[in-house]
Amino acid sequence: MKTWIMDSAMNATAVDTHINAFARDLQGVRLSVLAFSAVVLMAREVASMVFALATNCLLLVQAFHGVHVSKYAIPASTFSWLDPFPDPLSASS
């Protein structure tokens, strides 16, 4: 009887250890999922900020440089200061 009680106590301790380990694993998974969702939300916010910045930059370029578009769909005068040999036909008036 004493052996059975000791075996039962050891089994209960082992089961308790496994349950605790499983609970820690679940908590780790929950934290991983929370961290992943936080990263996804931050990436979405950063992407929307970059998109808004790019859109506003393009709007500023169109506002200050006219809307004459070159064959590359870029306003003709946007990068004209970079071109050492500007094309007189694509210059905006």
For the chain, the structural domain boundaries read: 2-82
Contacts (Cβ under 8 Å, ≥6 apart) of 90: 68, 70, 76
Instruction: Give ∠ CA 66-67-70 in degrees, rounded to 5.
Output: 115
- Are the C-beta atoms of residues 68 and 90 closer than 8 Å to each other? yes
> Where residue 83 falls among pLDDT bands split at 50, 70, 90?
low
How far is residue 25's CA from residue 12's CA, in Å, rounded to a whole number? Answer: 20
- Predicted model pTM: 0.42
For residue range 58-77, list pLDDT tens digits in order: 887 777 665 555 555 655 55
pLDDT for position 46? 92
